Structure 1
Amino acid sequence: MSRLDRALTVVENVVAAGALALAVLIAIVSVLLRAVFGVFLSWTEEAIVYLIIYSTFIGAVITLRHNEHVNVDLMALLAGRRGRRIVHTIGAFVTVVYLGAIGYFSWLLLLEPFSTATVTPSLKLPLWVLELSVPIGLTLMFIRGVEILYRVARGQVAFSEGEKSALQHEAEQAGVDLERGPDGESRDNGEKEGGR
C-alpha cells in the first residue's frame, strides 16, 4: 500500500466514522436534554442531518475501496479470464468517467452564487460548507476509481485489499483473527464439535 493510499484511507475512515459518531453523540445529548431538563436545542437536528450527509459521501469512498458497492458482474462471470479483464476494465473506465463528470459539475455547483450567499436556517453556516461533502466525496471516489482502473488494466487485483470483504480487511488491520473465537479456538472446530 503506498503512502498516499494509506493517508487517504486514514482520512476517509476518520472523517466518515467521526461525522457519524458526532451525529450519534449530538442526538443522544439532544434527547437527554429534552427528556430530563426540558431543553430543546433547535440546531441539533440540522447538525445531525449534515453530519450524516458527510458520513455518507465519505463512506461511499470507503465502500468503493472495499468493492462493496452493488454491481452487476454476470458478464464478467460468464467471460473467460481475458474477457473478465476486459469487462472489468470497461466497467472501471465507465465508473471513472461518470465520477469525473459528476464530480466536476458538483464543484461548479459549489461555486454558484446561491451556494455562496445562502446560510443554513439553524446553524447559520454558509451553504457551501455543507455542500462541500458532495464534491469532496466524488473527488475521492474518482481518485479511487482511477486507482482501480489502473490495477484492472494492468491485470492486477483491482482493489488494494485484494478480494477480501471490508470486514476481513478491517479485522486484519486491527489484528483480529476472524477464524478464531474469543477463546482463541478455531471457529471451524467449534462448529464441527457442536454439529456432532
Structure 2
Amino acid sequence: MAMLTGLTLYLVIARDLLHTDAGWAQELGILCAIQAYMTGALIAASRRAQINIDWLEQRLEAGRAARLHQAVVAIVVIVVTLFFCYWAWEMLAWNMNRPQVTPALGLPLWIFQISILLCAIGCTGYAIRDLVQAIGFTKETLE
C-alpha cells in the first residue's frame, strides 16, 4: 500500500506539476492495486469478513436452522467463486494464447491477471472450508 501511495503521489506530481510522462508509474500502481485488492479479498474470506447481509442469520437460533443457513450460503459462495475461477482462468488462457504487454514497461498482462486467478482459487477454498464447518464435518465426527 505504501508503494501504491508513493506511485500515485509521483504520478500526480509528474503529470500536473512537471508535465512529464509517468506511464510506468501508472502501470506499477495498477499492479500494486490489483495485488492489494486480491490480498484484501483473501484476508476477508479467511476471516469471514466479506460484505454480507446477516439479518436472517442473526434471527436464527444456534442449531440446525443456523447450520443449514450457513451451508446454503457456503454453497452459493462456492458456485459464485467457481464461476470466478473459470472466468479468471479463461482470461489468463486467452492472454497466454495472445500475449500482450503494457505500453510503458512492456510487462506481460498475465502478471496482472495471475493474482486474480489465485484469489479466486483461494476464495473457493475458504468457501469449501465454510461448507465443511457448516455441515459439521470435524475431526471428531470422522472418527
TM > 0.5: yes
Q: Distance in 2 between matches of 1:113 and 1:39?
A: 31
In structure 1, stretches of 5+ residues that fail to align are 1-19, 157-196
**Corresponding residue for 1:25?**
6
Separation (CA, whole Å) in 2 of partners of 1:108 and 1:87? 32
Q: Report if aligned partners of 2:10, 2:25 keep a CA contact under 8 Å in 1.
A: no
1:105 aligns with 2:94: no
When normalised by structure 2's length, the TM-score is 0.79
The structure with the larger Rg is: 1
CA deviation profile, 1:133-156 (whole Å, cap 9, x unmatched): 211111111111112221222188
Q: Does residue 65 of structure 2 align to residue 83 of structure 1?
A: yes
Provide the aligned C-alpha RMSD in A.
Answer: 2.6
Separation in structure 2 between the aligned mates of residue 56 and residue 115 of structure 1, nearest angstrom:
26
Note the C-alpha offset of 1:21: 2.6
Alpha-carbon contact 1:96-1:146 (below 8 Å) kept: yes
Larger helix percent: 2
Tell me how far 1:57 sits from its aligned partner.
1.4
Are 1:56 and 2:37 matched, yes or no? yes
Counterpart for residue 45 of structure 1: 26
Unaligned runs of 5+ in 2: 139-143
C-alpha separation in 2, matches of 1:118 and 1:34: 26
Within 5 A, what are the aligned runs for 1:126-137?
Answer: 126-137=108-119
User: TM-score, normalised on structure 1?
Assistant: 0.60
- 2:125 is matched with 143
Instruction: State, as a whole percentage, how many aligned pairs show the same letter.
Output: 21
> Displacement of 1:120 after TM fit?
1.0
Match of 1:162 in 2: none
* Cα deviation digits, residues 11-51 of structure 1 (max 9, x gap): xxxxxxxxx23212333455566789776533101211221
Q: 1:115, 1:67 → 2: CA distance?
A: 36
Q: Judge conservation of contact 2:3–2:32 (CA < 8 Å) in 1.
A: yes
